[in-house]
Structure 1
Amino acid sequence: MDPVVSPGMSPGQRIKLYRQRAGLTQEVAAQLKGVTASAWRKWESGERSVNTLGDWIEIARILRVRDLYRLTGMPVGQLPDEQAEHESVQPVRAALHAYAPTLDGPVDIAALRRAITWAWNTWTSSRHRYSRTAPLLADLILTTRATLAASSGAVRRDAERAAADVYLLVRSFGKRVGAADVAYLAADRAMSAARAADDPAYRAAAGWNLAQVLSNRGHTEESALMCEDAIRDVEAASGGGPAEMALAGSLRLLLAVQRARLRDERRASEAIEDAARLAAITGETTYHRTFFGPANVGIHRAAVVLELSRTGEALRLAERVDVGDLPSVERRYSHYLQLGRAYAIRREDLAAVHMLGRADRESPEDSRLNLVMRATVRELLVRETPTTRPDLRGLAERVGVI
């Protein structure tokens, strides 16, 4: 018999109702979906939105619900859409898989380095980073692969370091445009290049990137293990300097988030405090394009608490972090988006719209691609008021929700 669903029930309440009808625990339902139990709990509590139509369909299958409207409470036209593949992905993917690129001239590591630096600076600092970075990536990948093939001896190690930097950039790009295959392949190649260069700092940076990919795909335990292995590796390196310390700190911040998702609050707190001690020594750093320092520790403190479902505390922590001087557009955007999401969970919609608007001003292109942004805007639209409507409708148009 179908359970009684009242019109005012939220999507999370409906998921919980139908899960209970199906006789499933949150842990079993999460396992069937291929997500952590923490992620499933957040769907039911409303702390996290179901971001894609594909996820809704899979949840309906697991809970044996035939009518998607009864499960979601939303007409089909209001359900989230799938993230379309960005138009820049195909040439990047083709460059990664090209059979045997060759150089037109002699090996020139210095010129390759200049091109890599330009691409990275554009990616981290431009408000239009997708449209300006994407056209550079395919040629950069092909040149890097050809340079590796033509290099030997000491020059080969320099070429491997350059390759690691290129693939770390491609990993970050692939993640943001929803190209999971590109992100994973790039992260794996970055790790191979770092190992070939026999450079502990590069291995640590590659480990952080690969752990990011694992985390994004829901492999929380594997991501945590990758962080732990990379921390041991970089800290065992003789003569570890500021770069190694900063990378160990970045790995600990990512580890803290994974432990929070695994509901291991004690070890998550330990990882954050270890990172804070390192940040007090290093200050704000940008080694290997991983941004580490006191501000990033503050951002992750709030993120960990939010993962542990303490929204009010997460907001208090996040509101004290000043990200205005951070050189990374992505860090500033993510911070404002996290604040907007936390306000939305607490139904402080005016503050949520304000913070989402700040995120959108940092990087309009991110807003059109980010599924959390789009899902949160949809959620706010459902309960819009005359006070939120003017700014919310404008934001919804800019991100492509209406």
Structure 2
Amino acid sequence: MATYTLKHLGYSDLARDAARLAVVEAREFGDPAWIGIAEFVRILAMPPEMPGAPARLAQRVADEIQPHTSDPRVRQAYGMLHLHGALRAAVDKQAATAVRHLRVAEEEAASLGEPEDLGLARFAFGPTNVGFWKVSILLELNEPQLALEAADHIAPGHLPIANRQAPYFADLASALAQVGRDQEAIAAFLRSEAAGPQWFRLRPTVRDAIGSVIRRTRKNAITSQMRSAAVAVGLHALIA
């Protein structure tokens, strides 16, 4: 949790330090499940200016723990590594690699089902969480329509935790905005803000997307929902 908190507050260097400590402790402990989770967190903390490296590390660690996947906990870590490999490959525009990682994660999630008590390290690896990640991955691959089709198969209420619902609804909103469904996009942005207000207000991409919607809306057509979304991310000037 320290890595997540530090990263979202903008302390990237400290987040990486915390992640490295987690890896050291996990490897000393020697449990493949916790090694997988610690390495997943380390990958999460890696800077965006390292194209290719996160996806390669995710694959290497997944291969390392794969012989131990008879343990369901290890399979959860294995699936999370493939999810992150898929997302980072998508960011690097390596579509084939992203799809390959995503398929492995989907297969593991389908066989494991939804986790009890949010699963290993409360990472909630299961079909719903994989669905959330799939929407993000398809957005990174510039496939908003496919992202919306994936969202049609997700029941977000199956995973009622803020740090997963807020990003999911923001991704859903971005996909809706990209295909011109602006009113639905704003409604989804507000669902994201309701689920995780602190997370929501710190996201530059959310602010940019809401700004784009409002800028292309005629002044006399700006709705109360648009005004609420603009205020939530500090875009008061656009609705003055």
Cα offset, 1:401, TM superposition: 2.7
Per-residue CA deviations over 1:234-270 (Å, capped at 9, x if unaligned) read: 1133x74111001101111111122223333223222
Unmatched segments (≥5 aa) in structure 2: none
Counterpart in 1 of 2:23? Answer: 191
Given the alignment of the two structures, is residue 378 of structure 1 paired with residue 208 of structure 2, yes or no?
no
Per-residue CA deviations over 1:299-325 (Å, capped at 9, x if unaligned) read: 222222222212112111123211112
Once residues 65 and 158 of structure 2 are traced to their aligned partners in structure 1, the CA distance between those partners, rounded to angstroms, is 28
Cα offset, 1:387, TM superposition: 4.0
* Aligned partner (choices 276, 297, 301) of residue 130 of structure 2: 297
Given the alignment of the two structures, is residue 363 of structure 1 paired with residue 166 of structure 2, yes or no?
no
Given the alignment of the two structures, is residue 235 of structure 1 paired with residue 66 of structure 2, yes or no?
yes
Cα offset, 1:225, TM superposition: 1.5
* Aligned partner (choices 216, 220, 231) of residue 51 of structure 2: 220
Counterpart in 2 of 1:178? Answer: 10
Given the alignment of the two structures, is residue 325 of structure 1 paired with residue 164 of structure 2, yes or no?
no
Counterpart in 2 of 1:345? Answer: 178
Counterpart in 1 of 2:226? Answer: 392
Distance 1:233 1:307, change over 3 A: same
Secondary structure of 1:361's aligned partner? helix
Per-residue CA deviations over 1:4-56 (Å, capped at 9, x if unaligned) read: xxxxxxxxxxxxxxxxxxxxxxxxxxxxxxxxxxxxxxxxxxxxxxxxxxxxx
Aligned length: 232
Identity level (%): 25
Secondary structure of 1:220's aligned partner? coil
* Aligned partner (choices 29, 32, 40) of residue 200 of structure 1: 32
Once residues 67 and 23 of structure 2 are traced to their aligned partners in structure 1, the CA distance between those partners, rounded to angstroms, is 18
Once residues 160 and 84 of structure 2 are traced to their aligned partners in structure 1, the CA distance between those partners, rounded to angstroms, is 19
Contact residue 135 and residue 147 of structure 2 kept, 8 A: yes
Q: TM-score, normalised by structure 1?
A: 0.55
Once residues 366 and 260 of structure 1 are traced to their aligned partners in structure 2, the CA distance between those partners, rounded to angstroms, is 22
Distance 1:388 1:320, change over 3 A: farther
Cα offset, 1:177, TM superposition: 1.4
Once residues 365 and 255 of structure 1 are traced to their aligned partners in structure 2, the CA distance between those partners, rounded to angstroms, is 27
Secondary structure of 2:93's aligned partner? coil
Please report the RMSD computed on the Cα atoms of aligned residues, expressed in angstroms.
Answer: 1.8
Once residues 382 and 320 of structure 1 are traced to their aligned partners in structure 2, the CA distance between those partners, rounded to angstroms, is 31
Cα offset, 1:190, TM superposition: 0.7
Letter matched to residue 64 of structure 2:
D
Once residues 360 and 392 of structure 1 are traced to their aligned partners in structure 2, the CA distance between those partners, rounded to angstroms, is 13
Letter matched to residue 273 of structure 1:
R
Cα offset, 1:295, TM superposition: 1.0
Once residues 232 and 133 of structure 2 are traced to their aligned partners in structure 1, the CA distance between those partners, rounded to angstroms, is 28
The residue correspondences of 1:97-176 to structure 2 (distance < 5 A) are: 169-176=1-8
Once residues 245 and 360 of structure 1 are traced to their aligned partners in structure 2, the CA distance between those partners, rounded to angstroms, is 32
Detail structure 1 runs of 4+ shifted over 6 Å in the superposition.
Answer: none
Given the alignment of the two structures, is residue 278 of structure 1 paired with residue 108 of structure 2, yes or no?
yes
Counterpart in 1 of 2:98? Answer: 268
Letter matched to residue 381 of structure 1:
I
Secondary structure of 2:16's aligned partner? helix
Cα offset, 1:180, TM superposition: 0.8
Letter matched to residue 252 of structure 1:
H
Counterpart in 1 of 2:84? Answer: 254
Once residues 275 and 261 of structure 1 are traced to their aligned partners in structure 2, the CA distance between those partners, rounded to angstroms, is 17
Once residues 127 and 51 of structure 2 are traced to their aligned partners in structure 1, the CA distance between those partners, rounded to angstroms, is 25
Contact residue 110 and residue 127 of structure 2 kept, 8 A: yes
Contact residue 249 and residue 278 of structure 1 kept, 8 A: yes
Once residues 327 and 236 of structure 1 are traced to their aligned partners in structure 2, the CA distance between those partners, rounded to angstroms, is 32
Once residues 202 and 208 of structure 2 are traced to their aligned partners in structure 1, the CA distance between those partners, rounded to angstroms, is 11
Secondary structure of 2:49's aligned partner? coil
Secondary structure of 2:146's aligned partner? helix
